[in-house]
Amino acid sequence: MFAKQNESPPAVVVVSVDSQSMTVRNTLLSNTSLEKYCNALRSFSDSEFSSVKWFVTTPEYHAPKELSFSTFSNISEALTVLVKCWAINFFSLAYSLGTIKSKIAKIAVFLKYFDNLNVPLTSIRNSAVQVFLSRYSETPELYNSMSCAISDFCNFASQNDIEFSELINPPLLPIKNKTLVRRAPDQCVIDTLDRFFFTRDDIPTDMKCAYLLLRLILSRISEILNMPIDCISYPEEGLFSVLIPTKKETPLHRPFISKYSRNLSGEYTAVLYLAIQKQREYAIMHQGDIPEECSNYLFVSSQSPTKLLSNADFNTYLQKVCEDNKIMNSNGEIAHVTSHHLRHIGVTERLQSAIISPERAQKEANHLSMSTTMGYGYSSVHDENQHTSNIVQDVFQGVFSELPASTSCTLPPKKYASLQNNPFTRLLPGLGLCSNAACIPRFEICLQCEHFTPDRCYNEYFLECSAIVQKRLEMLYKNPSKNAAAIKLNEKYLQLYNGFIERVKMKDESA
């Protein structure tokens, strides 16, 4: 079963990364594919493709974080290169760094197992994969997690023209264990924390501001911590609006910034307004102390003005508040509350308030489906009765409760410019930017289909896209041998955009 089969040796590939030349031997990928991923790496890291450690920047972190490939030291260079390209693909799809590290760790074990047996990747069969899974997966959950990672990896290889003996798709095991019912923190805990954060003035500015935002707005902590300094506007007298970037603000999604309008005269929202203004003053004061990549963000840390507040910092402080102030749950134990508990309790309060509709709660929480929102509507194990709604009633009152929850907005200028200047970023008219060069969105097929009727309301956007790509090509043509792949890609999309513009023109002329 594990006999090694004959394979033709892959070719040596030389690719250029910036001004440096890198040679990759025994690669399983084509020259074009490898060059594409090497260029895509530049969008996330300044590290060389060949480095054992990459320092990557992802939407969840403000500063570069380490991603190591040291576990592949005993694995062939060809497989290591493939794994690195796989990781780059996940970055382009906006996967979290933690998820990518987890998948890479699983694949390292998988590849070492078959490498020790002298079985080439393309000769692996499903029966051998199941033998591996039975030995290295102690629980059904670990088995399924490893199985999914293997399927993803082999599917990625197949998409890059690597042919396997058979389709690698190991079956998943049924999970018999019942998932525990999720429970919110006890109401007595939330009430005590609210009194602490809403009434006291001796709390670090960043911690108080983060808590109030999470209690009064249904945002994720990652969204709160990415708020810019200039996050407040005044749409009309007596109201202020807070702008918070959503987690879906990535190159693969249409960018939105959620806009939450609140009453300046409300008891709770007035406290929130003062907290945000105080944090803004602190952040502005310390712009000279913080690194450039962390500048212009609201949550400069009160512990150290040279860094930004993190989720771990906030959760540690919450736990310290509970311990120092003997905040107990209904069992008489020190309460354990996290930032995400506050988001869940906020959804629960809205769903049970009889004031806010589920549709309104879904929109504020930025959930894609109502089922996700309704899944948040649980009570604590000790408080099966309905949660009180004093905060909700104060927050949602008057005309502003009818204002739209979200408004379309562009990406932050620095982030948008860096993506736009990358020659492998596609401009998706009506959608935004896409940095996943391996993906073929449906719109490309639609735009060229004879049954497709162009909508002239997008014509200005296509004209803008065409102009940007033409400008790109002017720069790329200055060094055609180095930029051959990028030139080919951008010429393709210039033809696509101009085709749309021409069809709109012909339609107008025939009208």
Tokens 């023109």 locate to 505
389 and 427 housed in the same domain? no
Q: Are the beta carbons of 72 and 106 closer than 8 angstroms?
A: no
Contact 328, 229 (CB under 8 A): no
Name residue 65's beta-bridge partners: 56
Local structure of residue 240 (DSSP, 8 states)? E
DSSP 439: -
- The last residue of one of the domains, among 352, 378, 408, is 408
Backbone dihedral angles phi then psi of residue 161, each to the nearest 5 degrees: 65, 30
Structure tokens at 443: 């719109």
Question: What integer pLDDT is reported at residue 237 of this predicted model?
Answer: 84
Would 413 be classed as within a structural domain?
A: no
The whole domain housing 110 covers 13-159
Q: Is 288 exposed, middle or buried (0-12, 13-18, 19+ CB in 10 A)?
A: exposed
* 257, containing H or E segment: strand 256-263
Task: State residue 211 phi and psi, 5-degree precision.
Answer: -60, -45
What does the pLDDT read at residue 52?
93
Amino acid, res. 468:
I
Q: Does the residue 176 lie in any domain?
A: no
**Residue 368 and residue 433 in one domain:** no
**Together in a domain, 262 and 134:** no
In a domain, 142, yes or no: yes
Q: Is residue 101 part of a domain?
A: yes
The verdict on 144 and 198 lying in the same domain is no
Gap between the Cα atoms of 448 and 509, Å rounded? 20
**Identity of residue 272:** L
Whether residue 437 sits in one domain with residue 404: no
Residue 165 lies in a domain: no
pLDDT digits (tens), the chain, 511 positions:
333 333 333 333 333 333 333 444 446 788 888 888 888 898 889 999 999 999 998 765 667 889 999 999 888 888 999 999 999 988 877 677 888 999 999 999 999 999 888 899 999 999 999 999 988 777 888 888 898 899 889 988 988 888 888 888 888 887 665 545 556 788 788 889 999 999 999 999 999 999 999 999 988 888 888 899 999 988 888 889 998 887 554 434 444 677 788 888 888 889 999 999 999 999 999 999 998 888 889 999 999 999 999 989 999 999 999 999 988 877 778 888 999 889 888 888 888 777 888 888 888 887 777 777 777 766 565 543 333 344 444 554 443 344 444 333 344 556 556 666 777 776 666 555 666 655 555 666 656 655 555 556 667 778 888 888 998 899 899 988 888 888 988 898 888 888 878 877 776 665 5
Domain boundary among 140, 159, 178: 159
Counted domains in the chain: 3
CA distances (Å), 68 to each of 83, 87, 150, 494, in order? 12, 11, 19, 38
Q: What does the pLDDT read at residue 124?
A: 92
State whether 390 and 429 are in the same domain: no
Contacts of residue 293, defined as CB under 8 A and 6 or more positions apart, other chains included, come to 57, 62, 63
Q: Which pLDDT value is given to residue 419?
A: 62
Residues 305 and 431 in one domain: no
Asked if residue 389 and residue 428 are part of one domain, the reply reads: no
Amino acid at 436: N
Examine the domain organization and report whether 402 and 461 are in the same domain.
no
Of 357, 374, 408, the residue that ends a domain is: 408
Note whether residue 173 is domain-resident. Answer: no
The separation between CA 386 and the C-alpha centre of its own chain, rounded to angstroms, equals 34
**440 part of a folded domain:** yes
